[in-house]
Structure 1
Amino acid sequence: MVGKETVLVCSDNSGIVYARCINVSSTVNLHDFVLSSVITVMPKILDFSKPLRKKKFLGLIISLKKITRRPQGIWIRFESNRLLLLNDSFKFMGTRVYGPVCREIKKSKKEKALYKKIISYSKIAI
């Protein structure tokens, strides 16, 4: 389960390897994180680059370690909590997505329009 102070793995080539969740959006309960939730993260940088050190970013959760139930009755679980970094206007920061992306990202037409670039960059949609 993802909550405050949880360390997540970044699955893109934006230059950040790990990120820590520091804030939860008001639409999501603290214990009810779902795939495709947007959270505020602070990067944990390994190479100590100064421009990214004190910045806060938005992150889109693409996989959870917790078992998630889909409406068809299927249960899905990933090996790690992964996210993709977004800027303030919800644009994808990287140019490549590593690993599979869950199907819940393209739920509604609004979200499909926002994350069209992410869907096209990912190879597999599970």
Structure 2
Amino acid sequence: MIRKQTKLKIVDNSGAKLIRIFHLFGYSLIQNYSKVGELVLGSIFRYRVGRKVQKKQRCLALIVTVKRNISRKNGIRIRFDETRGIVLSETKKLLGTRVFGPALKEIRCGLFMRLASVVSKLV
């Protein structure tokens, strides 16, 4: 689960390493946390020099994996070592061209069909 003031690790080549979340979107806003496949708004906390993003820049991020267990309808439970996300532009397009590491299939059913072709592995 992702809450406000959480530092989210970024796993694409947009140039951001960490973002600090300050706003949540989606249905889970009522419960005050975000899940996989939901958008969050944050600012760049750490970045690689000479890339598309700068420090303290506002950006949207899509949550790709979470550390908490995820249960599917067929009984499988999936858990990752850390929570990761992908940086998006203001028009909800991918800023990076590659995504490192796996992503969950639950993301594919949303607005982000292009992500299925960019990500290295869907779990």
TM-score normalised by structure 2 residue count: 0.87
| Larger strand fraction of residues | 2
Identify the residue that residue 7 of structure 1 maps to in structure 2. 7
Q: Is the contact between residue 4 and residue 23 of structure 2 (CA under 8 Å) also seen in structure 1?
A: yes
RMSD: 1.8
Query: In structure 2, how many angstroms separate the alpha carbons of the residues matched to 1:48 and 1:99?
Result: 22
Pick closer, same or farther for the CA change 1:47–1:122 going to 2, 3 Å.
closer
Q: Aligned pairs, how many? A: 120
Structure number with higher helix proportion: 1
Q: What TM-score does the superposition give when structure 1 sets the normalisation length?
A: 0.85
SS at 2:8 equivalent: strand
Query: How many percent of aligned residue pairs carry the same amino acid?
Result: 28
Which residue in 1 is equivalent to 2:116? 119
Structure 1: give runs of 5+ residues left out of the alignment.
none
Distance 1:93 1:120, change over 3 A: same
Q: Which runs of 4+ in 1 moved over 6 A?
A: none
Q: Aligned residue for 1:85?
A: 87
Is there any run of 5+ residues in structure 2 with no aligned partner, and where?
A: none
CA offset digits 1:71-115 (Å, max 9, x no partner): 2221111111100000111100001000001000122xxx2xx32
- 2:121 aligned counterpart, secondary structure: coil
Matched letter for residue 100 of structure 1: P
CA contact (8 A) 2:15 2:48 kept: no
